[in-house]
Chains A and B, each alone.
Chain A
């Protein structure tokens, strides 16, 4: 089954779950503008990805404390969608703009810090973040004229360093 068909299948599943819960919320395939990696294109791991946005009604309830409910639903939808298939697709769910806002905050922080790094010509160390958050930082500063990024530390302590590029 191609990615379009599997996207439709995942979308139908999420909408069935929302309907069953009588949440008054609707799911739709995320547009490229709403999500960092949308439109069913392959992600960096070589997996095809499906991004679904849930909006309206009680969609905020699906976020839960620090996104716990959303992570749980995303995990289960991913299992269901991949159950009967040989090829794995990554499913990312957003609800009430939670992941989008979170990404925008991280990107703004990264860009601010990059500016400081350039001004003081001194590297900046971010707090430890989970892998997907570190990736957001790396991506937003990729190709930046004045700084480069790398990660340091292991496990729970792994964090991003923003470092000034050598001036030429």
Chain B
């Protein structure tokens, strides 16, 4: 299972500049963090109105990672 590769594939579809899409996976004792970076002009396309797109990415990461409730799954977005 690769949540990271899955996020990359989805985000590449959302943006104008797929070449700039990067996702770093980091783990600490609280859980897993996916740090998403995209081209500055594409930020709005991965956040969406009222953060709807970012929240959808979070919902997917959380479920596919299969983490239980005690550990958190974060998706952070930056350019």
Residues of chain A having any CB pair with chain B under 8 Å: 13, 16-17, 19-23, 58, 61-65, 68-69, 71-73, 75-76, 79-80, 83
**CB neighbours of A17 from chain B (8 A):** 6, 9-10
Interface size of B as a range:
20 to 34
Contact present for B1 and A64 (CB under 8 Å): no
Which of A58, A72, A79 has most B Cβ within 10 Å? A72
List, in ascending order, chain B residues with CB within 8 A of A71's CB.
56, 59
User: How many A-B residue pairs lie within 8 Å, measured between CB atoms?
Assistant: 71
Interface of A is mostly: helix
Binding site for A on B (CB under 8 A): 1-3, 5-6, 8-10, 13-14, 52-53, 55-57, 59-60, 62-64, 66
* Structural contact, B60 and A69, CB atoms closer than 8 A: yes
Which A residue's beta carbon lies closest to that of B56?
A72
